[in-house]
């Protein structure tokens, strides 16, 4: 707190991984990647656009973007939308579209090519149409989803995890938080939102069409989520949820006609 110039009391923030704290209008979070945080504070911190607010990074008093593994962003007003409402998905998609219009000219962050997490590995596998090295349990759904993956257009900087990272507040533009950067077509980011809606929130099969999100985008996103399940399992994590997650991907694929 002293490093970031904060002196007031701190309170834990619910949600996420349960490790963030708020103090004096600033959110503190451990486990920061210095390269990512520097990008968030510099390149992303300069974007401006209509239709969204951004939780911008806060530097330390000496101008650094991290301190002993901790980072800080401004606390933005709002709360997660009620995902049981179909209208909530439209609000998330529209916030993402506004954000992606603003990031359309940003260069590719160099650290993306070096990222080695469950999610970055799964993303690369989802976009490698020759990668069929899924577990026997996953292979049938992977093959089905591959059939629906067609070209989605040029890549740019996108937020690949919007589902629970858009906050709404009365009479204010939606806030975009915890940016997960990927270098992919914007429609792919929308597909991830719809994949999550179909898999985890019992959204109707008509939702992609209602929101103008292509089947190919949802198919590619479901591959990403499926390969993330595989990557977790490869590390021995989430094995108890493996069969249930495969069933969800299967149901979502059927909902989009695959």
5-13: long-range contacts, CB 8 A cutoff, minimum separation 24: 5/60, 5/61
**pTM metric for this prediction:** 0.94
Which residues fall within 8 angstroms of residue 236, CB to CB, at 6 or more apart? none
Average pLDDT score, the chain: 94
Percent of the chain scored above 70 by pLDDT? 99
C-alpha to C-alpha distances, 62 to 2, 4, 5, 67, nearest whole angstrom: 11, 9, 10, 10
Q: Mean pLDDT across the stretch 223-228?
A: 97
pLDDT at position 182: 98
Residue 231 is inside which H or E element, if any? helix 215-234
Count CA atoms within 13 Å of residue 21 on its CB side: 14
Q: Mean pLDDT across the stretch 245-251?
A: 96
Q: Mean pLDDT across the stretch 211-238?
A: 95
Report the alpha-carbon distance of residue 102 to residue 65 in Å, rounded. Answer: 22
Report the alpha-carbon distance of residue 258 to residue 253 in Å, rounded. Answer: 5
Q: Mean pLDDT across the stretch 251-257?
A: 97
Residue 132 has pLDDT above 80, yes or no: no
Report the alpha-carbon distance of residue 247 to residue 66 in Å, rounded. Answer: 40
Strand partners, 157: 183
C-alpha to C-alpha distances, 63 to 4, 54, 109, 110, 165, nearest whole angstrom: 9, 20, 21, 22, 27
Report the alpha-carbon distance of residue 209 to residue 187 in Å, rounded. Answer: 13
**Cβ atoms within 10 Å, residue 251:** 13
Residue 16 has pLDDT above 80, yes or no: no
pLDDT, tens only, 35-49: 999 999 999 988 988
Report the alpha-carbon distance of residue 152 to residue 220 in Å, rounded. Answer: 9
Using only the alpha carbons of the chain, give its radius of gyration: 19
| Residue-wise DSSP of 162-204 | -TTSEEB-TTSPPEE-S--EEEE-HHHHHHHHHHHHHHHS---
pLDDT, tens only, 54-88: 999 999 999 999 999 999 999 999 999 999 999 99
Percent of the chain scored above 90 by pLDDT? 87
All structural domains of the chain with their residue ranges:
11-74, 86-255
Q: Mean pLDDT across the stretch 172-198?
A: 97
For the domain bounded by 86-255, which CATH number is listed?
3.90.1200
Angle between helices 215-234 and 242-255 (to 10 degrees): 170
pLDDT at position 239: 86
């Amino acid at each position: 707190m002293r490093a970031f110039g904060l002196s007031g009391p701190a309170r834990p923030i619910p949600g996420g991984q349960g490790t963030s704290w708020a103090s004096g209008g600033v959110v503190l979070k451990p486990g920061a990647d210095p390269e990512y945080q520097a990008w968030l504070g510099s390149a992303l911190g300069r974007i401006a656009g209509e239709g969204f607010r951004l939780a911008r990074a806060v530097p330390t008093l000496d101008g650094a973007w991290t301190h002993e593994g901790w980072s800080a962003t401004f606390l933005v007003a709002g709360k997660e939308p009620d995902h049981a409402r179909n209208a909530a998905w439209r609000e998330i998609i529209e916030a993402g579209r506004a954000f992606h219009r603003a990031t359309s000219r940003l260069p590719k962050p160099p650290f993306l090519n070096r990222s080695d997490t469950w999610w970055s590995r799964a993303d690369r596998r989802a976009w490698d149409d020759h990668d069929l090295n899924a577990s026997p349990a996953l292979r049938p759904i992977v093959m089905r989803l591959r059939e629906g993956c067609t070209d989605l257009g040029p890549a740019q900087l996108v937020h690949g995890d919007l589902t629970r990272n858009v906050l709404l507040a009365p009479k204010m533009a939606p806030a975009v938080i915890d940016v997960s950067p990927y270098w992919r077509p914007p429609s792919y980011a929308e597909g991830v939102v719809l994949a999550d809606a179909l898999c985890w929130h019992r959204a109707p099969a008509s939702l992609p069409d209602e929101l103008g999100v292509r089947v190919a985008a949802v198919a590619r996103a479901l591959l990403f989520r499926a390969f993330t399940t595989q990557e977790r399992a490869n590390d021995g994590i989430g094995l108890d949820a493996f069969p249930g997650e495969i069933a969800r991907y299967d149901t979502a694929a059927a909902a989009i006609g695959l």
